[in-house]
């Protein structure tokens, strides 16, 4: 294992990775915990978020790929989301046998409510941190945002 600071597999990188993994694992329930709607499970919330982030209707296969679930699972989830009125289906103009799915107005509303609730819960916890800890968190955000992007791309400047 290399011992250069910052080298992949270096002891400091491994320790940081382990601590970060643990912190994220503990935060996920807080961020996913919501009461926006009783039928909005974490997997359905993820699917709605993926559709929102795509900014365009997707084929079911693309939704499956982006959420990391099997096509059959995605197909069942799409049926449930459609039954809830959270997505709209339309024929794919490029292939009439396929359909495109996108967020409906109700889907945008329930996704927005869930996100506001999760943000509020996280903000309440952040507010309980000491001011210096909040400062550390603020300074760490660009690195955390870069970690969340493919290839660790830097986040856009948000000043």
Q: Report the candidate in 41, 45, 76 with the shortest Cα–Cα distance to residue 60.
A: 76
What is the band of 153 on the pLDDT scale with cuts at 50, 70, 90?
Answer: low
- The structure tokens listed for 30 are 């807080």
Determine how many CB atoms are found less than 10 A away from the CB of residue 50: 18
Distances in Å between the Cα of 25 and the Cα atoms of 19, 22, 65, 85, 155 are 10, 5, 23, 31, 22
The pLDDT of residue 68 = 93
Nearest to 62 by CA among 106, 111, 98, 97: 98
Tell me what pLDDT residue 2 has: 45
Q: Is the pLDDT of residue 5 over 80?
A: no
Tally of residues, the chain: 159
pLDDT of amino acid 1: 43
Is the pLDDT at 72 greater than 50? The verdict is yes
Question: In this predicted structure, what is the pLDDT of residue 3?
Answer: 45
Whether the pLDDT of residue 12 is over 50: the answer is: yes
**Res 7 pLDDT > 70:** no
Structural tokens at position 150: 């493919």
> What would the two tokens of residue 154 be?
């830097």
Question: pLDDT category, 37, cuts 50, 70, 90?
Answer: confident
Q: Hunting for tokens 């870069």 — which residue is that?
A: 146
For the stretch 81-116, pLDDT in tens is 999 999 999 999 988 888 999 999 999 999 999 999
């Amino acid at each position: 294992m290399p011992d250069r600071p910052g080298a992949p597999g270096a002891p400091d990188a491994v320790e940081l990775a382990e601590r970060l993994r643990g912190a994220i694992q503990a935060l996920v329930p807080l961020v996913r915990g919501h009461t926006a709607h009783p039928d909005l499970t974490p997997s359905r919330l993820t699917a709605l978020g993926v559709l929102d982030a795509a900014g365009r209707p997707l084929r079911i296969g693309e939704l499956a790929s982006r959420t990391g679930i099997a096509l059959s699972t995605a197909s069942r989830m799409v049926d449930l989301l459609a039954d809830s009125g959270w997505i709209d289906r339309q024929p794919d103009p490029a292939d009439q046998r396929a359909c495109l799915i996108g967020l409906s107005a109700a889907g945008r509303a329930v996704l927005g409510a869930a996100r506001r609730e999760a943000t509020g819960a996280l903000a309440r916890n952040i507010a309980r941190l000491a001011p210096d800890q909040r400062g550390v968190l603020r300074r760490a955000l660009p690195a955390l945002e870069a970690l969340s992007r493919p290839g660790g791309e830097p986040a856009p400047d948000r000043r």
